[in-house]
Amino acid sequence: MALIVQKYGGTSVGDVDRIKNVARRSIAAQAAGHDVVVVVSAMSGETNRLLKLVSQISDRPSEREQDVVLATGEQVSIGLLALAIQAQGGKATSFLGHQVRITTDSTFSKARIKHIDAERIVEALKQKHIVVVAGFQGQDEQGNITTLGRGGSDTTGVALAVALKADACEIYTDVNGVYTTDPNVCPAARKLDRISYEEMLELASLGAKVLQIRSVEFAMKYKVPLWVKSSFTDDPGTLVCEEDKSMENVLVSGIAYDKNEAKIDINGVPDTPGVAAKIFGALSERNIGVDLIVQTASHQGRTDLTFTVGKTDLPHARELVERVAKEINAGAVETDVEVSKVSIVGVGMRNHSGVAAKMFQVLSGEGINIQLIATSEIKVSCLIHAKYTELAVRALHTAFGLDQPPVEG
Ligand code: ASP
Ligand code: MG
């Protein structure tokens, strides 16, 4: 007998029939002899609907109150799911985050889980109940309701699996696993049987939306094997797990793209110590994250500095950068939102050279200009014109041999 945590996303509980389907699946898992804890998201579209209500009242809402509103979405789905399980003859109890003491810090809207006191869950499991827990929410030390950031139910699922020492954590979604790239963009995309935590983490940070980044960090830290599966099929899905030797044979495991960044250029930046610190210090003070950065070689004591920020941060970032540019006596500030970041990821890159060069060749072969480059041990990212995103992804997918399944050995 095993203890299984199953997490179902918004589309999996998107309507009453789908909720009944989840009830059937959790009952089947219990009938197979397991203790079952189910974490659910709000019904699809619900969190957005709630956010919209908030925005109609205030454009700078108190994050504490916004969390009070957003946390209600999951309350509806846990109650409905528990009812559906009961209607099918099963035993079920639902719990909100605070009822099972999911304690977080007080960073409203993106709180981090600090600990979970799973006593009530264990008690209910002993009574042979399927335990249904609200994802995405917790409570801080003062008893305020908090939420974990968009997609946060994944993290609730993994954190519960850790707290309960579960044997497996299954993340159910509307696709049947993790793909080599977005199948909507590249018809040749393939489902992966396995992927390492590290690769998954990179892909999630680079724009792949299957799992919340923090849930992967958690799983990696505590070595929880994560299954990504579809709630609509019986496909075994993708296992996210520790890296092993065979994974290194594959140069590139996945390709991600992200159209949510914007580029900022500062021309004629005086080439003196402290200037970069001033610019990026001002941005970080305002919690504006900077991604790719490039500085050109100094020419007559001046350089050009180019970097990217999130599109939603652009208006604010531009204002700040223009102010600092004046202070340091730099030239014009230009921005561009028609950009996209395309990245290749693979642990095999660690032991192979020439991967980045091949990526550049493929892009240039398609006539695509590379505006910025960033690399890490297991990824290479290029910023290109947004209109070439699909072309770039497809060309890279083919060039790195992802159109065909890898040869074992
Ligand atoms: N309901 C929340 C959201 O839409 C959390 C989740 O779905 O994981 O972001
Ligand atoms: Mg989700």
Give residue-wise pLDDT tens across range 138-149.
Answer: 999 999 999 999
Atom of ligand 1 nearest to the CA of 148: 5
Report which of 283, 272, 292 is spatially closest to residue 321, judged by C-alpha positions. 283
Candidate from 118-132, 246-260, 335-349 with smallest mean pLDDT? 246-260
Q: How far apart are CA 74 and CA 135, in angstroms?
A: 7
| Ligand 1 lined by 110 (C-beta under 6 Å) | no
pTM of the complete model = 0.90
Q: With a 6 A CB cut-off, is 152 part of the ligand 1 pocket?
A: yes
In 140-178, which positions are buried (b, 16+ CB within 10 angstroms) versus exposed (e)?
beeebbbbbeebbbbbbbbbbbbbbebebbbbbbebbbb
Q: What confidence category does residue 59 fall into, taking pLDDT thresholds of 50, 70 and 90?
A: confident
Mean pLDDT of all residues in 217-234: 95
| pLDDT confidence of residue 249 | 84
Strand pairing category for 226-230 and 168-173: parallel
Q: Give the pLDDT confidence score for residue 406 in this predicted structure.
A: 74
14 CB less than 6 Å from ligand 1?
no
Q: Could you tell me which of 208, 88, 97 has the C-alpha nearest to residue 153?
A: 97
Atom of ligand 1 nearest to the CA of 9: 7
So what's the pLDDT on residue 408? 56
Average pLDDT, the chain: 95
Average pLDDT over every residue of 67-71: 98
Nearest Cα residue to atom 4 of ligand 1: 47
151 lines ligand 1 (CB under 6 A): yes
3-class secondary-structure state, position 101: coil
Q: What is the mean pLDDT of residues 218-226?
A: 95
Query: How big is the CA angle at 151 (ends 24 and 42), to the nearest 5 degrees?
Result: 45
Averaged pLDDT for residues 166-193: 94
Could you tell me the domains of the chain?
3-174 (3.40.1160.10), 245-409 (3.30.2130.10)
Of 300, 380, 296, nearest to 344 (Cα)? 380
Token pair 């003196």 is at which residue?
Answer: 272
135 Cβ closer than 6 Å to some ligand 1 atom: yes
Cα angle, residue 305 at apex, residues 304 and 311 outer, rounded to 5°: 135
What is the rounded end-to-end Cα distance, in angstroms, of the chain? 34
Residues 6 or more apart whose CB falls under 8 angstroms from that of 68 comprise 145
* Ligand 1 atom nearest residue 152's Cα: 8
What was the pLDDT predicted at 207? Answer: 81
Higher local confidence (pLDDT), 408 or 106: 106
Ligand 1 near 153 CB (within 6 A) = yes
The percentage of the chain sitting over the pLDDT mark of 70, rounded to a whole number, equals 99
- Over residues 300-351, the pLDDT tens digits come to 999 999 999 999 999 999 999 999 999 999 999 999 999 999 999 999 999 8
CA of 21 to the centre of ligand 1 (A): 19
Rounded distance between C-alpha atoms, residue 309 and residue 316, angstroms? 10
Predicted confidence band at 407 (pLDDT cuts at 50, 70, 90)?
low
Q: Which of 29-43, 70-84, 197-211 has the lowest mean pLDDT?
A: 197-211
> What number of other Cβ atoms are within 10 A of residue 196's Cβ?
21
SS3 at position 391: helix
